[in-house]
Amino acid sequence: MKIEGLLSEKYIELNLELATKAQVIETMLSIAGSHPGVKNHNKLREDVLKREREMSTGIGKQIALPHAKTDAVSDPVLALATLKNRINFESIDNEPVRVIFLLATPEEMLAEHLKLLGRITRLAGRENVRKKLTAAVASSEVLELFKEEEKDFPQI
């Protein structure tokens, strides 16, 4: 499982104009909402918000990664967005965010969930990748970026 294989243009939104953390999370849930792996939208929302209340998913380096292990999905679901302006996400480094990933995996896929979180963190944590993500004007550019960056990565 690679990021590039989980993402599709339908679940990528670029240069969104949002102002609050709550707006970002709701928008990410909306973007992912049409994914065929989502079985229960309300439960997915509840589980993502529950995880966010436990600890901010602002992981630093201008990245937020709201996520959940949940029975609301039948398959891994991944969405990505970039923001026109940085917003406060209560990140661990106190920096505002501009790149957001939403990840939801079935509860029984714990190992894959953790590996995907790690891969997203490693790749998006690279300054050159973040710059390309925030500069992208088309979803196809984002997919091509991950395809290129993951070409030497093993499958999860």
The tens digit of pLDDT for each residue in 109-135 reads: 999 999 999 999 999 999 999 999 999
Residue-wise pLDDT tens digits, 29-64: 999 999 999 999 999 999 999 999 999 999 999 999
List the structure tokens of 110: 């714990």
Domains of the chain: 3-149 (3.40.930.10)
Q: With a cut of 60, say whether residue 156 has pLDDT above it.
A: no
pLDDT class for 153, splitting at 50, 70, 90?
A: low
Spatial contact of 39 and 76, defined as CB atoms under 8 Å apart: no
Phi and psi, residue 85, nearest 5°: -125, 145
**Mean per-residue pLDDT, 79-99:** 96
Q: Report yes or no on whether pTM surpasses 0.75.
A: yes
Q: With a cut of 80, say whether residue 100 has pLDDT above it.
A: yes
Question: Which of these is catalytic: 35, 41, 67, 113?
Answer: 67
Nearest to 100 by CA among 30, 1, 2, 37: 30
Helix axes 41-54, 21-32, angle to 10 degrees: 150
Residue 155: its pLDDT value, please? 63
| Mean per-residue pLDDT over the chain, rounded | 94
Please confirm, yes or no, whether 67 is among the known catalytic residues.
yes
